[in-house]
Amino acid sequence: MHDPKQAFLIGVRRGGGLRESLRERLILVALLALPAFFFWHLAIDWSKSVSSPPDRLFAGPTLDPIHGHNVETLTALYAAYGYHWPPHRLVPAIDVAHLPTGLSTLPVHQKKVLFLKTLLPIILAADQRITRERHFLLGFFARYRKRPGIVESKSFTVARELEADYRVTGSLAKPAVQERLLSRVDVVPAVLALAQAAKESGWGTSRFALRGNDLFGMWTSDPFAGMAPRALRKDPTHYVRVFANLRSSVRHYLRAINTRRAFAAFRAIRARMRRADHPLNPVLLAQGLDLYSQQGEDYVLSIQQMLPTLDSPAHLGRLSLISPRVLADLIVQKRGRQRAGKLSTLARVAMIRVHHPHF
């Protein structure tokens, strides 16, 4: 005779056994899945590391930031480091985020000198990063010609990312594509970049330079990324770009020169100089900037006329960035501790801000 109570107890035991069996299976699946999950994440991290050029591979020299600066602080700081204009061999690796307050109140010569000294380290650092990218590609293409099988290597992946970053299409196996990429991955001479920044920003006194860190008159159609010029407020499609800092403005300018169709002539002139193994001539390169401004040839002529007033292009090409901390030690050794101890209070405070930004 069927006993309902006994059947209920048997069902409970069976259900408990099923639950225990299910629990054991879940634990087993989890234990088996953990290694797979770990290696999956490892593979993703590895793919990320090779899918974009590592910062440490192409990163330029580290620039020490300065916070809360004005013309008095910067002037004293540059004097303390022996940073004059025209610059000598060593330039302090200083990152000034924004143009100093009070720049427009200075006498014309002092304003220009302070403007040039502020931008030069940022431009040199950006050019050095591009130089590292170029050297990497030159080395990779040389190896590729000898061993085409390295297309599966990590270097090939990095080269492909640079190709995409500089907006070049086509197979890197083709010499024409390699040449096109190298024509874009190249520097703009510092003196030429300084001349354009000075002209476009009114030596750092324009509203767009002071409020938006736009040194080069870059335009955008995005109202959230730019400022409306007073003369064109009725045109909703033209805005002057706003940047977080001066360094971003310099990087955007270099990217525009190296990728936009309007500056193809500039890149062609530069590529011919490279093929002839000639140093980059800023005066000749300026001829490729006729589409940079609506002024056309008049703009090119104005830039060419500014170049000699800044400094010798060949001299600026021999400059080296040096850590402010190292430079401070060199100055102490050169001047002697007693004389270095007589620096003005303002200069010492400025140096502290560089060495200890959060002081």
Model pLDDT for residues 287-327, shown as the tens digit of each residue: 999 999 989 999 999 999 999 888 655 556 678 888 887 77
The more confident residue out of 349 and 134 is: 134
Rounded Cα distance, 182 and 136, in Å: 11
Among 120-129, 171-180, 203-212, 345-354, the range scoring the smallest mean pLDDT is: 345-354
Rounded Cα distance, 223 and 83, in Å: 39
**What's the token pair of residue 346?**
């303002």
Mean pLDDT of 89-115: 92
> Hey, which residues does 91 pair with through a beta bridge?
321
Q: What pLDDT shows up at residue 157?
A: 87
* Percentage of the residues of the chain whose pLDDT score is greater than 90: 45
Mean pLDDT of 260-286: 96
**What's the token pair of residue 9?**
């107890």
Residue 145 above 90 pLDDT?
A: no
Compute the mean pLDDT over every residue in the chain, rounded to the nearest whole number. 79
The more confident residue out of 13 and 293 is: 293
**What's the token pair of residue 166?**
């500089």
CB 273 within 8 A of CB 313: no
Backbone angles phi, psi at 197, to 5 degrees: -60, -40
Rounded Cα distance, 300 and 177, in Å: 29
Q: Cα dist. 310→37, 105, 115, 198, 328 in Å?
A: 59, 21, 11, 10, 26
Q: What pLDDT shows up at residue 47?
A: 36
Backbone angles phi, psi at 106, to 5 degrees: -75, 155
pLDDT tens per residue across span 18-66:
555 666 666 665 556 555 544 444 333 333 333 344 455 666 668 888 8
Residue 258 above 90 pLDDT?
A: yes
Q: What pLDDT shows up at residue 322?
A: 86
Close Cβ partners of 98 (under 8 Å, ≥ 6 residues apart): 69, 210, 213, 245, 246
Q: What pLDDT shows up at residue 186?
A: 97
Domain boundaries, the chain: 57-327
Among 21-25, 89-93, 133-137, 195-199, the range scoring the smallest mean pLDDT is: 21-25
**Triad 150, 155, 156: Cα angle to 5°:** 60
Compute the half-sphere exposure of residue 82: CA atoms within 13 Å on the CB side of its CA. Answer: 16
